[in-house]
Structure 1
Amino acid sequence: MSQPAFLDKIVSRQDAAARVAMLPRPVVFTNGVFDVLHRGHATYLARARELGGSLVLALNTDASAKRLGKGPDRPLNNEEDRAVMMAALESVSLVTWFDEDTPLELITELQPDLLVKGGDYDMDTLAETAVVKAYGGKALAIPFVDGYSTTALVKKIRSAP
């Protein structure tokens, strides 16, 4: 049995720039842990994709995610499983990883046309925004869908009788 075609969307960090160069423009870039996929994630990623010709999603590696301080047992899903879930989404064109605390180096390598983050970010304070604007790109915050967060979902599951 052959592997599902969507798995071809998952690329190593080393191969990411070459694959991004082949994507339809403009290239939209976003990043995050995306630990437990929920409606808020799906809506956010669909909105991000609508802003360009393709959407590149950079996942925090497990080590990078642990440094975010969301809890000692997070992420719940490992980086490979999270990548598969993201690649399965129609809105996502390409998935790769970054091991640093921020995707600054990866953004510098890939030079997307548009950087998109969730609505809780002040785009003007991000170093990533400065890098994107320096080479002529744009940065934009997309409002979150209220009531959805992986942290809240994990708390709800843990408090269930």
Structure 2
Amino acid sequence: MARVFRNFEELESFVKQERGKGRKIVFTNGCFDIVHAGHVDYLEKAKAFGDVLIVGINSDSSIKRIKGEKRPVVPQDYRVRVLLGLRAVDGVVVFDDDTPLEVIKLIKPDVLVKGADWPVEKIVGREYAGKVERVKFIYDISTSKIVNKIVEIYCGKKVED
């Protein structure tokens, strides 16, 4: 059963326990605001790189700094709950920084996964991971596209990304 880590000590203890069982730790991160088919596919592919998938999600305040005051659409506790319900996810940790660097430094994942839209040299924390994998997106969907479609349907206007 997937679990949420309320602090870094819980996360560190879990990772140590799983490594003690010989399991390969995979880490990825994102906002996961309005979880959609692209997110599910991405997380399933990330999980396939190892045994235990830990997902770092940006806190609400972190998302506001990165994406603006109108985001996130879905509060962090709800985003955590949705991710915990996905079969591929073994654990979720919320981070308040703009990047997950401190989480990555703490757990030193065997595999760090990001989308193929990220050039390797821009992937934060790559130097603390055993290996970096990039996943291609097969769904042409994003939270921004969903929000824009809703606004267009219900308000009759286009919104800039």
Measured against the shorter chain, the TM-score band is 0.7 to 0.9
SS of the counterpart of 1:22? helix
- Structure 1 residue runs of 4+, over 6 Å off? none
1:3-82 counterparts in 2 under 5 A? 6=1, 9-14=3-8, 15-23=10-18, 25-69=23-67, 71-82=68-79
What is the total number of aligned residue pairs between the two structures?
Answer: 150
Q: Which one-letter code corresponds to 2:102 in the other structure? A: E
Matched-pair contact (CA < 8 Å) for 1:13–1:98: no
1:85-124 counterparts in 2 under 5 A? 85-124=82-121
Q: Measure the CA separation in 2 of the matches of 1:146 and 1:125.
A: 23
Q: Which one-letter code corresponds to 1:155 in the other structure? A: N
SS of the counterpart of 1:67? helix
- The 1:127/1:95 distance shift into structure 2, 3 A limit, reads closer
Identity within the alignment, %: 35
Q: Measure the CA separation in 2 of the matches of 1:127 and 1:95.
A: 18
- TM-score of the superposition, structure 1-length normalised? 0.88
SS of the counterpart of 2:39? helix
Residue segments in structure 2 that go unaligned for 5+ positions in a row? 155-161
Which moved further from structure 2: 56-65 or 142-151? 142-151
Q: Measure the CA separation in 1 of the matches of 2:39 and 2:147.
A: 15
1:152 aligns with 2:145: yes
What's the RMSD between the two structures over aligned residues? 1.4
SS of the counterpart of 2:13? helix
Matched-pair contact (CA < 8 Å) for 2:59–2:96: yes
Q: CA deviation at 1:111?
A: 1.1
SS of the counterpart of 2:26? strand
Deviations 1:74-112 (A, max 9, x none): 111111110000010000000011111111111001111
Which moved further from structure 2: 11-20 or 83-92? 11-20
Q: Measure the CA separation in 1 of the matches of 2:70 and 2:135.
A: 28
Matched-pair contact (CA < 8 Å) for 2:53–2:88: yes
